[in-house]
Amino acid sequence: MSELLLNHLAGRPQAGSGPGTALSDPVLGTELARVDATGLDLREGFAFVREQAGAALRAMTYAQRAALLASIVKVLQANRDRYFEISTANSGTVKNDTAIDVDGGIYTLGFYAKLGAGLGERRHLLDGEAVALARDGSFQSQHLLVPTRGVALFINAFNFPAWGLWEKAGPALLSGVPVIVKPATATAWLTQRMVMDVIDAGILPAGALSVVCGSSAGLLDALQPFDVVSFTGSADTAAILRSHPAIVRGATRINIEADSVNSALLLPGEAPGSDAFELLVKEAAREMTQKAGQKCTAIRRIFVPEALYGAAAEAISARLAKTTVGNPRNEGVRMGSLVSRAQLAAVREGLAMLQRHAQVLHEGAAHALVDADPAVACCVGPTLLGARDPDSTRAVHDVEVFGPVATLLPYRDAAHALALVRRGQGSLVCSVYGSDPAALGAAARELADSHGRVHVVAPEVAASHTGHGNVMPQSLHGGPGRAGGGEELGGARALNFYHRRAAVQAGAGVQSTLA
Ligand code: NAP
C-alpha cells in the first residue's frame, strides 16, 4: 500500500483513522499516496491554532512576520526539484506548467515578504488619517486595522496546489493570522509536502501553518466568528459553503474564487495578420494549452469582428495543431494531462454539451498522445469551437469546461462585443487586443465593472505584458458575480481580508499613541 500522507494540526502530525483516499498519477494511472482526515479532533485543532499560534503571530511585528515569509521562500527554493517531481507525478504537468504553480507560489510569497518588510515594526495598521468629530478637533476618529483573532481556513482547488496555498498564506501570515489549508484531494501531495517542509524547518510558531488532507467533513463546523475562510473551487461547492450555519450565523468572513467564463476580445479595426491580431491568436492558443486549460483565468471565449472569424479560426487552429500532448516526462511534450479521470470525464461531458451548440474548428481528439496510453492517461488535445450566432448560443457564455477548450465568437460592433463579454455574468479577467490607445482604454473602463482584472495588450507591450491568465500579486485576483465576488492579492489590499477595521474615537492625546 502507498504512503499515508500525514495531516498536521494542533501543532503535531496526525494520521487519520480511516483507510484513506488514493492519489494517482493521471498519466500512468499508478497510486502515489493516500490521504485521510477521518477522526481528527478538528475543534481541538482549530482552538490550538486560534489561541496559541494566533497569539504568537500577533505578538510579532509586520517586519518580523515578513522575515518568516522570507525564510519560507528559502525552504521552498531548497526543495524545488522535489516539488517539480511531485507535480509531474500527481498533476501530470509539463515543467513550464509546474513552474507557474511552484515558482509562481514562491514569487508571490517573496513579494509579500518584501511588502511586509516595508510595513516595519508595527502591530497594527492605520486606515486613513484621524478626522475631527468635535469642532475644535479635540475629539477624533481614527480607523485602525488589526489582525483578526481567528484562523484562516483555505479550502483550495486542485489546479494550483502550490500557488493556491502561498498566494493566500503570504498575506495571512504577514497579517498575523495562522493558516489551516485543506487542499483538493486529487492533488493534495504537493501542498502537504510543502507544509511539512516548512514545519520541519522550524520557522513558524507551533500551529501557524496546518494542513488537513482528505475529506472536508466537519471543517466548517469548527469555525468561529472571527475566523476567515478562503474558498477556491466550483460555484456549486461555493453555494454550499455560503449557506453553512457557521458562515451565516457567525457572519464568518468568506472569500470565494469560483469558476469564470473569461474572454479575449480583439477590438474592431485590426486586419488579419496585424500585430494585435497575432497577439490575440498567440494568447488564445497559449491560454487553451497552458496547464491543459485547467486555470480559473484561462480564456474560454474569444471575440473577434465578424469579418475576421475565418482568419482567426485558421490562425488559432494552426497554433493548436502544433501542440504535442501526452506524458509530461517526455521532453517533446508541450501539454500534459488533466489531473484525474473525474476531470477527464467532466471535460468530455462539457465539451459534448458545447458541441451541441457550436461547431468544431480544431479537433482535440485528433491529437495522438505522445508516450501515453489513451486508455489510462487523462490527456486530451485542445479543441477550438466556434459559434457564428453568439446571441442565441447561451451555453458558450454559461458553461466553463475546465480543460483545453475555448469557443470563437464573432461580433458586429464594439457595443455588441461588450454586451457579449458581459454575458459571462462576471469574470476573473478579460484581455483586450488592439492598437488604438483610446479605444483600448474605453473598452477597459467598460469592462471594469464585470471583471476583477482587464488585461490590455497593444503591440508596444507585446514583449512585456504578463499574460492574460497569469495572476500577479501586484494586481487584484477575483471577480464579481459568477466568479464568486472575491478579492485576493492586489498588493497590500490582500491584507484587508485578514484584518478587522475599527474606528477608535478618542481625544488627540490618545490618538497620538495609536500612530
Ligand atoms: P470543487 O469540487 O468545488 O472543490 C474545491 C475544494 O472544495 C476542494 O478542496 C474540495 O475538496 C472542497 N470541497 C468539496 N466539497 C466540499 C464541501 N461540501 N464542503 C467543503 N469543501 C468542499 O472544485 P474543483 O472542481 O476541485 O475545482 C475546479 C473549479 O475551481 C473550477 O470551476 C475553477 O474555475 C475553479 N477555480 C477557481 C479559481 C479562482 O481563483 N477563481 C482558481 C482555481 C479553480 P475535495 O477535493 O476533497 O473534494
**Ligand 1 midpoint to CA 332 (Å):** 31
Atom of ligand 1 nearest to the CA of 238: 3
289 to 148, 258, 345, 443: CA distances (angstroms): 40, 20, 18, 26
Q: Angle between the 275-289 and 309-321 helix axes, to the nearest 10 degrees?
A: 50
**Ligand 1 midpoint to CA 392 (Å):** 30
The confidence score (pLDDT) of residue 515 equals: 85
The confidence score (pLDDT) of residue 1 equals: 76
Rounded Cα–Cα distance for residues 91 and 87 (Å): 5
How is residue 185 annotated by DSSP? G
Instruction: Estimate to the nearest angstrom the gap between the alpha carbon of 369 and the chain centroid.
Output: 28
Tell me the helix, strand and coil percentages in the chain, rounded to 5: 40, 20, 35
CATH 3.40.309.10 residue spans of the chain: 262-472
Q: Which residues of the chain have pLDDT under 50?
A: none
The confidence score (pLDDT) of residue 210 equals: 98
**Whether pTM exceeds 0.85:** yes
Rounded Cα–Cα distance for residues 383 and 150 (Å): 45
CATH 3.40.605.10 residue spans of the chain: 4-258+488-512
CATH topology of domain 4-258+488-512: Aldehyde Dehydrogenase; Chain A, domain 1 (3.40.605)
Query: Among this protein's residues, is 378 annotated catalytic?
Result: no
Domain 262-472: CATH superfamily is Aldehyde Dehydrogenase; Chain A, domain 2 (3.40.309.10)
Instruction: Out of 232, 343, 472, give the residue to mutate to test ligand 1, the one with the largest number of ligand atoms within 8 Å of its CB.
Output: 232
Query: Among this protein's residues, is 257 annotated catalytic?
Result: yes
- The residue contributing the CA closest to ligand 1 atom 39 is 257
Rounded Cα–Cα distance for residues 285 and 266 (Å): 14
Q: Angle between the 414-422 and 437-447 helix axes, to the nearest 10 degrees?
A: 30
